[in-house]
């Protein structure tokens, strides 16, 4: 009995030692992979993640981290596959939906990207980052009204975001809504005071709708803010 117990204890210690060694090796591989990624040695990082995955085939972190590295390396199809594996192991990991959606966009698979963003937004319809992403995908895919709807929702949720007004203004220009774009750029002017190009852009927009006086006022403000490119527009249209 004592002999059997001794054998069991020995086996337990050996197994525990193996587990500890494996865990230590895995942690070291992740550290090396992260360091290689920071140094933009993507091939080296992918090699370390390959080794980590071989040791931990059910750990979603290996696939996700390898996917982000492949994404940074421009290997969008490989990254897409790894983010899909990540989601198979962890279906609620929204970061994987984010990156897989971006991979789809890079590969011009806009409908698939929108599907991924839809999944996250179905759980959290107030997610401004995913509303922005879906709006971009809609716009690239030619679905301008849906793109605008998402930006309208995002602006309502984050009224102090100058970036959202700027995005919506740019979209409205594509949709030929010049007056709407001017209104949004006026919000950008208030919310992003360091964005000096706003007056030059507004000047060009006023010019498109034949509001010469307003255009010249904006060009003057642009020049006062050191926007050199406004000089030619002012001299051409305001003298």
Concatenating the DSSP letter of every residue in 101-164 gives HHHHHHTT-HHHHHHHHHHHHHH-TT-HHHHHHHHHHHHHTT-HHHHHHHHHHHHHH-TT-HHH
Does residue 14 carry a pLDDT above 60? no
Residue in this structure with the two tokens 């852009």, named with its chain if needed: 201
Mean pLDDT of 114-139: 97
Q: Which of 111, 109, 115 is nearest to 97 (CA)?
A: 115
Between 133 and 33, name the one with better pLDDT.
Answer: 133
Task: List the domain boundaries for the chain.
Answer: 1-103
Q: 1-103 has which CATH code?
A: 1.25.40.10
User: What percent of the chain has a predicted confidence (pLDDT) above 90?
Assistant: 86
- pTM here is 0.85
Sorted by sequence, the CB contacts under 8 Å of residue 108 that are 6+ apart come out as: none
Write the pLDDT tens digit of every residue in 175-199. 999 999 999 999 999 999 999 999 9
Distance, CA of 161 to CA of 208 (rounded, Å): 26
pLDDT value of position 24: 66
pLDDT value of position 22: 56
């Amino acid at each position: 009995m004592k002999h059997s117990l001794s054998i069991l204890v020995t086996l337990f210690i050996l197994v525990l030692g193996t587990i500890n060694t494996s865990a230590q090796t895995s942690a070291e591989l992740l550290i090396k992979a992260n360091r290689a990624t920071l140094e933009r040695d993507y091939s080296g990082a992918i090699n370390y993640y390959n080794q980590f995955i071989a040791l931990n085939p059910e750990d979603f972190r290996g696939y996700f981290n390898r996917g982000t590295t492949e994404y940074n390396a421009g290997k969008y199809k490989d990254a897409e596959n790894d983010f899909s594996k990540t989601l198979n192991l962890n279906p609620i990991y929204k970061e994987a939906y984010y990156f897989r959606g971006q991979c789809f966009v890079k590969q011009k698979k806009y409908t698939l990207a929108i599907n991924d963003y839809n999944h996250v937004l179905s759980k959290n319809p107030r997610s401004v980052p995913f509303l922005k992403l879906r709006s971009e995908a809609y716009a690239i895919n030619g679905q301008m009204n849906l793109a605008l709807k998402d930006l309208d929702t995002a602006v309502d949720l984050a009224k102090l975001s100058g970036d959202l007004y700027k995005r919506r203004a740019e979209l409205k220009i594509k949709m030929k809504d010049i007056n709407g774009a001017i209104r949004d750029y006026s919000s950008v002017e208030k919310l992003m005071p360091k964005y000096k190009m706003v007056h030059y852009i507004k000047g060009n927009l006023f010019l498109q709708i034949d509001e010469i006086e307003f255009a010249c006022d904006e060009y003057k403000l642009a020049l006062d803010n050191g926007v050199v490119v406004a000089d030619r527009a002012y001299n051409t249209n305001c003298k």
